[in-house]
A = this chain, B = another copy of it.
Amino acid sequence: MDNTDIKILKLLQKNAQMTYKEIAEEINLTQTPVFDRIKRMEKSGVIDKYVTILNRKKVGNSLTVFNQVTMIKQTLEISQKFDEAVAKLPEVVECHFVSGGFDYLLKIIVPDMETYHKFHQLKLSVIPGVSLINSYFVMSEVKNTTEIPL
């Protein structure tokens, strides 16, 4: 990965629909080397995937909640079961196992407070091993990007 690759990735992170020609013009190259470099980075896994970002509010999913989850104990079995359960829940868009005062930090996206209440009661707190859930409601989204610093 050289400087030209970095330039290409910076452009692609912002807009996955740039044509090879547009990228080539931006970095003073022609289509073919741009094409070859992108295909190489797709194969090596540096480029993971191309996705569409929706406007949360316009699709009626305007409530974001963070959950700090503490488990009764930290055995491998309990962790694995929790990981599996969480992966299946579409409301959970992020789940991180963290160091510190609790075990997991989850980011939840739901349409409204009523839906969140049901999610909390019926889907999250019932997962085996869950001991304590602290909820933090997002009042304002200051920044949210998929761009990794390069």
Contact = CB atoms under 8 A, between A and B. Distances in A.
A17 interface: yes
Interface size class of A (residues with CB under 8 A): 35 or more
A146 interface: yes
Nearest to A68: B136
Number of copies: 2
Given A16-B51, A51-B16, A66 B142 contact: no
B96 A138 contact: yes
Nearest to A141: B96
Interface string A43-76: 0111111111111101101001010000000000
Interface in A127-150: 134-150
A50 B48 contact: no
30 contacts: A9-B59, A13-B52, A14-B51, A15-B51, A45-B55, A49-B52, A50-B51, A53-B146, A59-B150, A61-B149, A82-B142, A86-B142, A86-B143, A87-B143, A90-B149, A91-B149, A92-B143, A93-B143, A93-B145, A93-B146, A95-B142, A95-B144, A96-B138, A97-B138, A97-B142, A98-B136, A98-B137, A99-B139, A105-B136, A146-B146
The 6 closest A-B pairs by CB, nearest first: A90-B149, A12-B52, A95-B142, A97-B140, A95-B143, A16-B50
